[in-house]
Amino acid sequence: MEHSGQPITMLFVCLADAKLAQSEIEKNITELWNLASALGNATVVDIILQKGVPQRPLYIGPGKAREVADYINNHKVDVIVVDGALTPNQKFNLTKMYWDTNPKIEVWDRMDLILSIFSRHARTTEAKLQIEMARMRHMGPSIYGMGMILSRQAGGIGTRGLGETNTELMKRHWKREMKRVTEDLGKLKGIRERQIEHRRNAGLSTVSLVGYTNAGKTSLFNALTHKKNLVENALFATLDSAVGEIYMPELGKSIIISDTIGFIKDLPPELIEAFTSTLLESISADVVLHVIDASDPDIFGKIDIVEDILHQLGIPEEKVFLVFNKIDAIPELNREKVITRTVPYPHVFLSTVTREGMDELLAAILPRFKK
């Protein structure tokens, strides 16, 4: 799974519902492409598309699976990325099918790709543990999944068939590891909870930044706090929550602001679960700023996705403020239309580049802290 830095060639295998419009299909492929580029060392050599719905043993149909086999027979491919969620069995069956052509081939689904990006970007112990947890959940104690991964780690072809005992052993190992990671994360979550409690007791108000990945959350965080956290035109540049302060002269004190991981379409539930400790900052905030890339052609689709996740996290609507960022990049934006589509939330339009709208944002959230 870890290709640490070496170039990886990827083949995308996408399944699209026959009812899906061409523009939707293209949007999905573009997002998968953006995810792959967030890895930093992946090249997508081709896309094999099938129209239809997932099938049981191989996810794609048997004919399509053979087409993929032909492809990898004739081209160098390190990783086959299936744009969807594979069951451990489907992943095993597909991998087995391509093993003979390329014993090193790996089959990933969308979650594996996201996890690889996360691993690449994780810096803190907490982020690393969260990813480990998500990865273990994703693999599950599944007999085939574990058997496959471990036998391959053990050295490939000769050790393919794992016996019953080994599988049982692996299951126990999975449970033990899961327990360890859960406990370690629990401790870190406890520390975070105490910090949040402490701030609350000290009468400090908090604002959190949430939004689709690449919307400009960290840019806004930096602009408000005068910090220099990593801003990147890549998905998931931020994986941890960073906390800073903004001095509010009108209040005669500072408020706390937190930046966190970005959201994405079909965010796997395993990830939300695993990242709850990072997301605690957002959940507990007094004001939640939903940062939006106003220049994104799919602005409303992304707003809906983020709102959905905020809802899942139990963040009340009254706390949410919409921040339409990057207005410098889209001077022709029809603000009226945008607002009509996004009532009843209060909103501001701004640019972290020109700083237009920044004062307006602070003025708009100020009344929330006076009470």
Ligand X SMILES: Nc1nc2c(ncn2[C@@H]2O[C@H](COP(=O)(O)OP(=O)(O)OP(=O)(O)O)[C@@H](O)[C@H]2O)c(=O)[nH]1
Catalog residues that contact ligand X under the rule CB under 6 A.
Answer: 211, 213-219, 231-233, 235-238, 262, 325-326, 328-329, 351-353
d(CA 45, CA 122): 27
Closest-approach residue to ligand X (CB): 262
Stretch that binds Mg ion, among 169-177, 179-187, 237-245, 292-300 (CB under 5 A): 237-245
Task: Return the number of the residue (31 or 67) whose C-beta is nearest ligand X.
Answer: 31
Task: Return the number of the residue (148 or 323) whose C-beta is nearest ligand X.
Answer: 323
Indicate which of ligand X, Mg ion, none lies near residue 235 (CB less than 5 to 8 Å, by partner kind). ligand X
Q: Does 237 bind Mg ion (CB under 5 A)?
A: yes
Q: Mask: binding to Mg ion, 185-224, rule CB under 5 A, as x and -?
A: --------------------------------xx------
Task: Return the number of the residue (144 or 321) whose C-beta is nearest Mg ion.
Answer: 321
In whole angstroms, the minimum distance from the beta carbon of 185 to ligand X comes to 21
Q: How many residues bind Mg ion (CB under 5 A)?
A: 4
Task: Return the number of the residue (98 or 324) whose C-beta is nearest ligand X.
Answer: 324
In whole angstroms, the minimum distance from the beta carbon of 259 to ligand X comes to 7
In whole angstroms, the minimum distance from the beta carbon of 98 to Mg ion comes to 36
Cα 179 to Cα 11, 72, 151, 176, 292: the distances in Å are: 35, 39, 23, 5, 37
In whole angstroms, the minimum distance from the beta carbon of 326 to Mg ion comes to 14
Q: Does 238 bind Mg ion (CB under 5 A)?
A: yes
One-letter amino acid identity for 235? L
In whole angstroms, the minimum distance from the beta carbon of 45 to Mg ion comes to 29
In whole angstroms, the minimum distance from the beta carbon of 288 to ligand X comes to 14
Backbone angles phi, psi at 337, to 5 degrees: -65, -40
In whole angstroms, the minimum distance from the beta carbon of 92 to ligand X comes to 32
Task: Return the number of the residue (251 or 329) whose C-beta is nearest ligand X.
Answer: 329
Structure tokens, 265: 């379409």
Q: Does 257 bind Mg ion (CB under 5 A)?
A: no
Task: Return the number of the residue (143 or 294) whose C-beta is nearest ligand X.
Answer: 294
Cα 76 to Cα 46, 50, 96, 101, 112: the distances in Å are: 11, 21, 17, 11, 20
Q: Does 241 bind Mg ion (CB under 5 A)?
A: no
Task: Return the number of the residue (15 or 117) whose C-beta is nearest ligand X.
Answer: 117
Site for Mg ion, rule CB under 5 A? 217-218, 237-238
